[in-house]
Amino acid sequence: MKLELGKIKIDDIQFAEKTYVKDHVLYVNKEEVEELVLEDDKLIGCSLDIARPGDSTRITPVKDVIEPRVKVSGGEIFPGVVGKVTPSVGEGRTHALDGCCVVTVGRIVGFQEGVIDMSGPAADYCPFSKTVNLCVVIEPQEGLETHVYEKAGRMAGLKVAAYLGEAGRNVEPDTLETFETKPIFEQAAMYPDLPKVGYIHMLQSQGLLHDTYYYGVDAKQFVPTFMYPTEIMDGAIVSGNCVAPCDKVTTYHHFHNPVIEDCYKHHGKDINFMGVILTNENVFLADKERHSDMVAKLAEWMGLDGVLITEEGYGNPDTDLMMNCRKVEKKGVKVVLITDEFPGKDGKSQSLADTCDEADALASCGQGNATLQFPVMDKVIGTMDYIESQIGGWAGCVNEDGSFEAELQIIIASTIANGFNHLAAKGY
């Protein structure tokens, strides 16, 4: 599959009478966006706000972050959710409004929703402190079940991102990049002297607001499968979970998966990037065993020399991570894990809930239990009412002036380190 990705640089967002892009500014018709959101009768209120880098602004509780995109040719954006499912997802041409995001905010769904600070010490840990953000603040009907509210919020963000993306359809991109992965046997033959490397992408799928969607299907309903990386870059996977904010793979991160982006940078130079093995994170032991078996078989079938594995979340999914590692290594494929750690505030507890002898190469993204002081902000988009009950906060952590102390895991961020040096050290 070959995907052309055109990036249209956006430096600012302003409200206007119509929605369009001009001179690197995204102009937004506020009323049209609000009407689009309120088409869902589960939502009774919607307001828009803009947060810019450097502003004394805090956004919370954050549900999802989405980059506006449009399919110029070949399929539709967010297939199976907003657009139709077509075989050309991951092909053709897509335009992205680079540098801006849609951020969904509102009354809390579950305690695992996070914070974005546009300035101050927390901004250093969050990629969305550097983007211009259109915040969609939603108000649900009273008495909605949490999963119904989550879906309403998820769909609101995706619909707004698709609507804004249309503004870039006929705009000439500032940059145009091409990404291509050929069918498996053709790809293997292209660079016979380079190590064949794959990526095992573990999706959060534990239910109870811990879901991710693959072509509109809840990820816990599928078995491990092969994906072209460009399908993921083209919106085939969207976030739908309220997992710990520092671990949350937002829809933006699926578009911009750092492992996929780095693999393409190395592709044809020092590795042959063969594609993605998509799997999920299961609750029951039998499912963990079954799916890790399938992952190992796919890695063997692809003829891989090495793989990178990432997980979303921590605790229970650490067992899926270690099962995948152990079984893939036993197939003769070198494995490097990429994960963060939760060793407690003092750093003295076990960092991962599970381990195995084969997990001898790991790129750490740091620990989420470390605490940070969050200063007072001039403006709050959303509400601070839930800080003490959000994961990373605790009773009494908020001061009278609105400042607070919390663990880093309360910040919406997903930092994935580069694991190539570890793979090289293992001799692929």
Residues paired with 200 in a beta bridge:
277, 309
Quickly count: other Cβ atoms within 10 Å of residue 366's Cβ: 12
Active site residues per annotation:
242
Phi/psi at 220 (5° precision): -75, -5
DSSP assignment letter at 173:
P
The reported pTM is 0.94
Position 423 scores a pLDDT of 55
CA 220-225-231 angle, to 5 degrees, is: 95
Position 424 scores a pLDDT of 54
Q: Which amino acid is at 39?
A: E
Query: Nearest to residue 335, comparing CAs of 307, 304, 312?
Result: 307
Domain spans of the chain, in order of start: 2-410
- Collapsing DSSP to helix, strand or coil, 108 comes out as coil
* pLDDT tens across the length of the chain (428 residues): 899 999 999 999 999 999 999 999 999 999 999 999 999 999 999 999 999 999 999 999 999 999 999 999 988 999 999 999 988 899 999 999 999 999 999 998 877 889 999 999 999 999 999 999 999 999 999 999 999 999 999 999 999 999 999 999 999 999 999 999 999 999 999 999 999 999 999 999 988 888 999 999 999 999 999 999 999 999 999 999 888 888 889 999 999 999 999 999 999 999 999 999 999 999 999 999 999 999 999 999 999 999 999 999 888 899 999 999 999 999 999 999 998 888 888 888 888 888 999 999 998 888 889 999 999 999 999 999 999 999 999 999 999 999 999 999 999 975 544 454 555 556 55
Helices (H) and strands (E) in the chain, counts: 9, 24
Tokens 């450097």 locate to 54
Q: Do β-strands 132-140 and 100-106 pair in parallel, antiparallel, or remain unpaired?
A: parallel
Position 417 scores a pLDDT of 42
Dist CA 117 CA 94 (whole Å): 30
Collect all residues with Cβ–Cβ distance below 8 Å to 305 and sequence separation of at least 6: 195, 196, 197, 333, 334, 428
Specify whether the CB–CB gap between 64 and 27 falls below 8 A: no
Position 227 scores a pLDDT of 96
Specify whether the CB–CB gap between 109 and 150 falls below 8 A: yes
Position 428 scores a pLDDT of 53
Quickly count: other Cβ atoms within 10 Å of residue 23's Cβ: 6
Query: Nearest to residue 157, comparing CAs of 250, 71, 51, 31?
Result: 250
Position 118 scores a pLDDT of 98
Q: Give the end-to-end CA distance of the chain in Å, rounded to a whole number.
A: 25
Position 421 scores a pLDDT of 52
Position 247 scores a pLDDT of 85
Dist CA 238 CA 154 (whole Å): 9
Tokens 């592709």 locate to 267
Position 39 scores a pLDDT of 96
Collect all residues with Cβ–Cβ distance below 8 Å to 103 and sequence separation of at least 6: 51, 59, 62, 64, 65, 116, 128, 133, 134, 135, 136, 157
Specify whether the CB–CB gap between 197 and 306 falls below 8 A: yes
Position 415 scores a pLDDT of 54
Dist CA 52 CA 13 (whole Å): 9
Dist CA 136 CA 133 (whole Å): 9
